[in-house]
Homo-oligomer: A and B are copies of this chain.
Amino acid sequence: MTDTLDPTVLSVETDQLAVNTLRFLAADMVEAANSGHPGMPMGAAPMAWTLWSRHLRHDPADPQWPDRDRFVLSAGHGSALLYGLLHTFGYDLPVDELRNFRQLGSRTPGHPEFGDTPGVESTTGPLGQGLAMSVGMALAERMMHARYPELTDHHTYAIVGDGCLMEGVSHEAASFAGHHRLGRLVVLWDDNDITIDGNVARASSDDQLARFEAYGWHTEQVLDGTDIAAIDAAITRAKADPRPSFIAVRTVIGAGAPGIEGTSKAHGAPLGESVLAETKALAGWDHAPFTVPASVQEVAAQWVQLGEQAHAVWREKAAALRKTAPDRAAEFHRVQAGTVPAGLGEALRATVGDAPRATRQSSQACLDAARGVMPELVGGSADLSGSTGTVCGDVVSRDDFSASAIAFGIREFGMAAIMNGMSLHGGFRAFGSTFLVFADYLRPALRLSALMRQPVVYVLTHDSVAVGEDGPTHQPVEHVESLRLIPGLQVLRPANDAETAEAWRLALERTDGPTALILSRQALPQDPPTKFDGHSPVTVEIVATGSEVALAADAAEVLRADGVGVRVVSPLDRSRYVPDPSATVVSIEAGSTSAWSGIADVAIGIDTFGASGPGGEVLAHFGLTTDAVVSRIRAHLVRAIEN
């Protein structure tokens, strides 16, 4: 078996034809939609063709093959290039889908959407995140390789644009990749010097090669982005280098379109019928729209055959492993499938104790317990592992990828995007942690976790003004509610050991979306559920979450002594809470009352920034004491009687 095509098949003429195929498929798509981004595909088609015809090892008939190379188009607005590649290389993306580019219900949405299109490895468009997800995929590859060397040995490729490199997350991800020496990662930079507002030189004069070298990357530069041999050679050297590689490829946006190429006009609008016709004429392209010439199809098919052969070899290795190491083979397939092992619930329930402790500590116990049955559970924190209860054994390093703890560094956004990449890669359940208030730093990637339905776990601790002395910059107020707004994100705020164990179970048994665990810094009592229910008929229902559940229970006891029938409800997931329609409903949560106001008759919370001081004093300052809560409720009941 060879892993390159016969050089006679890859003639200069066929290469040029293939490049034009990708260019005009993209331009035709944008023209048909009358909307989209033709410039990037037209400029980057040569590098994409070089990568896909000479390096990318995949099997379009099985887009889920675990050991395929990964390709991420971080410059997601160039989706038409990706769809053209998938179509040409035989993925299940027929020409009618290309004709339906950017239409409702098509498999060709405006930006690549994971799950909508076979072969699309990740949702991209929010700039920089594709690069960071590719770092996560490359990390997962090395970690799977350390665990299952026979079955994991592939590359991750990404094409990034100027915007990706300006975004801060590119720093976090590239620094992480350099530190971990992720040598299987090859990033091609579509260096076209143009952004939406004009030349890059308006806003940036970074020396990107020097920058990536400062991160410990291998760098290459290709000065003519149409020189397929030079691109090919650079990728070949990149694969041979033990460091992650960054290849700057000088391109011309909208290449070949007269009057438009090389300007920001090529970025985000159709060429228009006459310019497109002229462009095709200049390129000697006389095919009907949406054509893939037979010789190009032939090259793609031959290349795909090599991928199929590699896949067949891999299947043999998998079969061999099932014989030589059946347990490890079974585990490989289980973690790839994302199945949760039996015994998880039991292991988690065993963490429940009697002593008061912070739910971040309960969570550390759950994590330890879950790891005992789920070796695929890996992760860490943005440099707060001790504080957030996310210590996870040995730390993964460039010298040893077999460990389970990931030192993400003080890089919240990068952490979340890397988790997304690991989850997309498969084989791992990833968790990441920081203080809840810094969920703002990672929110753009958390949104993508939800949009891509990735079951990653966000461990967000120090969850209210009870944080205390660190003050308003470190005290979340609006954050729990702001997370609840993200479609598909499961937000759980447990009150004690038992609820924390249940929250971890819900998070890990969920396979089609992310979960945020909202945990306290301060110790909380292990109140028995019996404390929650009154014995007289219920006239007041106090609904509270997390650290406020104990406060609610204390307030309920005082009110019961008054003769009021009070029930306390602790909905782990507020979206599942149904208020008692016959009761006066009081909510208590040490944060925004915005949505609670529509649920409860009395919504007790905090709608301003916090304050620096000892946690208990700060809580008292904001009326979160038993006395203050009881007074609020009594006052409401009195008013209700008077009306």
Interface residues of A (CB under 8 A from B): 33, 35-36, 76-77, 102-106, 109-111, 113, 123-127, 162-163, 166-172, 175-176, 178-179, 195-197, 202-208, 210-211, 213-216, 381, 383-387, 395, 407-414, 437-438, 440-441, 443-444, 447-448, 450-451, 468-474, 477-478, 481-482, 484-488, 592, 594-599, 607-609, 611-614, 617-618, 621
In the bound complex, what is the Cα–Cα distance between A444 and B166 (angstroms)? 18
A sample of 30 cross-chain residue pairs with beta-carbon separation below 8 angstroms, ordered by A number, consists of A35-B468, A36-B469, A102-B469, A102-B471, A111-B612, A113-B472, A124-B473, A126-B437, A127-B410, A166-B383, A167-B411, A167-B441, A168-B171, A179-B204, A195-B383, A197-B381, A202-B395, A210-B210, A210-B214, A211-B215, A214-B214, A440-B444, A440-B447, A450-B609, A451-B472, A451-B609, A477-B487, A482-B485, A484-B594, A488-B609
Residues of B near A609 (CB, < 8 A) are 450-451, 487-488
Residues of B near A487 (CB, < 8 A) are 477-478, 607-609
Which residue on B lies nearest to A483, using beta carbons? B482
Q: When the two chains form the complex, which single residue of B179, B407, B411 contacts A197, counting CB atoms closer than 8 Å?
A: B407
Residues of B near A617 (CB, < 8 A) are 104
B444 touches A410 (CB 8 A): no
In the bound complex, what is the Cα–Cα distance between A488 and B211 (angstroms)? 38
A410 touches B104 (CB 8 A): no
The answer to whether A409 and B166 touch (CB under 8 A), given A469-B33, A485-B481, is: yes
A473 touches B179 (CB 8 A): no
Ranked nearest first, the 4 interchain pairs of A and B with the lowest CB-CB distance are: A598-B598, A168-B168, A104-B613, A203-B409
A172 touches B179 (CB 8 A): no
In the bound complex, what is the Cα–Cα distance between A469 and B79 (angstroms)? 12
B440 touches A383 (CB 8 A): no
Q: When the two chains form the complex, which single residue of B103, B110, B443, B595 contacts A440, counting CB atoms closer than 8 Å?
A: B443
> Which residue among A111, A170, A206, A213 has the maximum number of chain B CB atoms within 10 Å of its CB?
A206
A168 touches B166 (CB 8 A): no
Q: How far is the CB of A98 from chain B (nearest CB, A)?
A: 14
In the bound complex, what is the Cα–Cα distance between A26 and B134 (angstroms)? 43
Which residue on B lies nearest to A216, using beta carbons? B205
In the bound complex, what is the Cα–Cα distance between A203 and B382 (angstroms)? 9
B102 touches A612 (CB 8 A): yes
Residues of B near A126 (CB, < 8 A) are 437-438, 441, 473
Q: How far is the CB of A350 from chain B (nearest CB, A)?
A: 28
Residues of B near A444 (CB, < 8 A) are 438, 440-441
A451 touches B478 (CB 8 A): no
Residues of B near A482 (CB, < 8 A) are 478, 482, 485
Specify how many copies of this chain sit in the oligomer.
2
Q: When the two chains form the complex, which single residue of B35, B178, B486, B611 contacts A205, counting CB atoms closer than 8 Å?
A: B178
Which residue on B lies nearest to A592, using beta carbons? B485
B203 touches A179 (CB 8 A): yes
A197 touches B385 (CB 8 A): yes
B471 touches A109 (CB 8 A): yes
Residues of B near A414 (CB, < 8 A) are 168
In the bound complex, what is the Cα–Cα distance between A76 and B470 (angstroms)? 10
> Which residue among A167, A176, A197, A613 has the maximum number of chain B CB atoms within 10 Å of its CB?
A197
Residues of B near A383 (CB, < 8 A) are 163, 166, 195-197, 203
> Which residue among A204, A383, A473, A608 has the maximum number of chain B CB atoms within 10 Å of its CB?
A473
Q: When the two chains form the complex, which single residue of B76, B125, B478 contacts A485, counting CB atoms closer than 8 Å?
A: B478
Q: How far is the CB of A389 from chain B (nearest CB, A)?
A: 13
Q: A35-B468, A105-B613, A166-B409 are known contacts; what are 12 more A-B pairs with Cβ within 8 Å? A: A102-B614, A104-B614, A110-B471, A167-B441, A168-B171, A197-B381, A204-B409, A206-B216, A207-B214, A211-B211, A213-B214, A477-B487
Q: How far is the CB of A194 from chain B (nearest CB, A)?
A: 11
Residues of B near A110 (CB, < 8 A) are 468-471, 474, 612
Q: When the two chains form the complex, which single residue of B163, B214, B381, B413 contacts A410, counting CB atoms closer than 8 Å?
A: B163
Which residue on B lies nearest to A127, using beta carbons? B410
Q: How far is the CB of A164 from chain B (nearest CB, A)?
A: 8
Residues of B near A213 (CB, < 8 A) are 207, 210, 214
In the bound complex, what is the Cα–Cα distance between A470 and B618 (angstroms)? 45
Q: When the two chains form the complex, which single residue of B35, B214, B473 contacts A211, counting CB atoms closer than 8 Å?
A: B214
A168 touches B214 (CB 8 A): no
Q: When the two chains form the complex, which single residue of B123, B413, B594 contacts A595, counting CB atoms closer than 8 Å?
A: B594
In the bound complex, what is the Cα–Cα distance between A18 and B35 (angstroms)? 65
A104 touches B440 (CB 8 A): no
> Which residue among A407, A409, A410, A613 has the maximum number of chain B CB atoms within 10 Å of its CB?
A410
Residues of B near A215 (CB, < 8 A) are 206-207, 211
Q: How far is the CB of A56 from chain B (nearest CB, A)?
A: 24
In the bound complex, what is the Cα–Cα distance between A163 and B102 (angstroms)? 41
In the bound complex, what is the Cα–Cα distance between A597 and B395 (angstroms)? 46
Q: How far is the CB of A468 from chain B (nearest CB, A)?
A: 7
The answer to whether A407 and B168 touch (CB under 8 A), given A105-B613, A197-B386, A613-B102, is: no
Q: When the two chains form the complex, which single residue of B170, B179, B473 contacts A125, counting CB atoms closer than 8 Å?
A: B473
